[in-house]
Structure 1
Amino acid sequence: MLLGCVPGLAAVLALVMCAATVDRAQTGPARPSVARPAAAHPGPRPPILPRSTWLDAASTHAQPAPRYDDRVVAVFVHHTDSPNGYDCADAPRIIRDLYAGQTGPKDWDDIGYNFLVDRCGTIYEGRAGGIDRPVTGAHTQGFNHRTAGVAAIGTFTSGTPVPRAMTDAIARLVAWKLGISDTDPRAIVRLRSSNSLSRFSAGTSAALPTVAGHNAAFMTTCPGAALTARLPAIRDEAARLQGR
């Protein structure tokens, strides 16, 4: 499950639908990251704040070494199902609460999302392992391999305004992350489900957008109807940033 958290104690206690859909961290040896030729359509790397921005020593717990895939060929977009009216200066605290909820009651080894974006367009590193590397996340049940998970901080159900700064930042992040593998953000990719709790039974090869909402792979409303409606524009802008 994904834990849609709210600031404070509720972040540790509340379980929400968007959180109910994530593979628990897999065990087994890490996959080494493989050197690849330079991409023909690289996207510029956006500013990304490191984990140290939101995770202090008092909040950190012991965790195993990160796991890696050979590349990232798709991005799943989520929302955190938390309040929208926050001050962007509070985003690090909100992320820390999400981390506490997922590593506490859920007993995950780390926050599930690879990246988080606040309403002002600031991008934060989520799961540990290296911003530039294909870190295996825990964000989309059955489809955590060869994908990255980016969470929009807030709740974006039907009729909710989605900040332009947020969607522009997601597009920049998508353009860069998929550009490393020379993947077109407007394309369709085949991913193999690892878990029958997803929309696809384990072992099924599913055709999914390279930039997909969480709901494309799991029975959930995440990332909300309003943010889902913005995905086509995010794909187009990411492709433009890659020079396609």
Structure 2
Amino acid sequence: MRPHTFRRVPYAAALAFLATCSAPLHPAHGPDTERLHAVSLRPALITRAAWHADQKDVRGGLLYDASATAVFVHHTDNPNAYTCGTDVPAMLLALEQRHIALGWDDLGYNFVVDRCGGIYEGRTGSADRDVRGAHTEGFNAGTVGIAALGTFGPGQIPPRPMLQSIAAIAAWKLAPGVNPLGQVRLVSSSDDSRYPKGTAVQMNVISGHRDAYQTDCPGQSLYDDLPWIRQTAARLREQAARDG
């Protein structure tokens, strides 16, 4: 696989190191969400420093985008029987080191979510800027990569706190005016993706990795939950617009 205010669900006593940081088709843009304030949507995050990311091996020259118009959801293919908080930092460190060894400069995903709903900052700077990840071959520009920590094939049901946190990140990181229920036009930048380089593709604003690359990621069970994630992200943005 290639790299591949919201009232957040309480996360296991918030952990000692938890840090608070940053159907029919629907149109991609909606006037109600133009009033969004990103700060009000920013969920609680566990920073790279908190999970002891290997910053010394991160390569320079990371790219930044003006905004994010789409989200790609992944799973990491890790076993699901881990202890939130205790096991996760080491799992993320191993994942980061593997991605760096593959030449992806840093952890490929912008964010990783554990089964308890904990949200971890992935790629350096993702909490504060629209950092271009290395998560979806051919479609990294202007998109956010969110990985569910675990494996979610048939019968491996993603926990609801995990789904809620994925929706919360999407609601926060998508540019104001982008409708999580809508579609977006993206252009492939790689022949290694599902579409030849230069091909314009209409995709859901919140898509699965398999929509852009030949893979079963994010697993059938998580893929089946994408409509729920879209609806929840849209609801969070609508609430933020009303409260703004």
Calculate the TM-score normalised by the size of structure 1. Answer: 0.81
Deviation at 1:53, TM superposition (A): 1.6
Would the alpha carbon gap of residues 130 and 154 (structure 1) be closer, same or farther in structure 2, given more than 3 Å must change? closer
1:210 to 195, 205, 209: 205
> 2: CA distance between counterparts of 1:42 and 1:169?
18
> 1: CA distance between counterparts of 2:3 and 2:238?
36
| Equivalenced residues, count | 208
> 2: CA distance between counterparts of 1:131 and 1:68?
12
2:10 matched residue in structure 1 = none
Does residue 66 in structure 1 map to residue 62 in structure 2?
Answer: yes
2:2 matched residue in structure 1 = 2
The answer to whether the 8 A contact 1:72-1:181 is kept is: no
Does residue 136 in structure 1 map to residue 132 in structure 2?
Answer: yes
> 2: CA distance between counterparts of 1:62 and 1:103?
7
> 1: CA distance between counterparts of 2:202 and 2:128?
26
Deviation at 1:120, TM superposition (A): 0.5
Q: Where in structure 2 are there 5+ consecutive unaligned residues?
A: 5-32, 240-244
Deviation at 1:107, TM superposition (A): 2.9
The answer to whether the 8 A contact 1:3-1:98 is kept is: no
2:51 matched residue in structure 1 = 54
The answer to whether the 8 A contact 1:42-1:182 is kept is: no
What fraction of aligned residue pairs are identical, expressed as a percent? 45
The answer to whether the 8 A contact 2:179-2:234 is kept is: yes
1:169 matched residue in structure 2 = 165
Does residue 222 in structure 1 map to residue 217 in structure 2?
Answer: yes
2:92 to 74, 92, 95: 95
Does residue 242 in structure 1 map to residue 237 in structure 2?
Answer: yes
2:187 matched residue in structure 1 = 192
1:85 to 81, 85, 92: 81
Deviation at 1:196, TM superposition (A): 1.0
Q: Where in structure 1 are there 5+ consecutive unaligned residues?
A: 5-37
> 2: CA distance between counterparts of 1:187 and 1:149?
18
Does residue 114 in structure 1 map to residue 96 in structure 2?
Answer: no
Deviating 4+ runs (over 6 angstroms): none
RMSD across aligned positions (CA): 1.8
Would the alpha carbon gap of residues 62 and 114 (structure 1) be closer, same or farther in structure 2, given more than 3 Å must change? closer
> 2: CA distance between counterparts of 1:198 and 1:81?
20
Calculate the TM-score normalised by the size of structure 2. Answer: 0.81
Would the alpha carbon gap of residues 56 and 193 (structure 1) be closer, same or farther in structure 2, given more than 3 Å must change? closer
1:21 matched residue in structure 2 = none
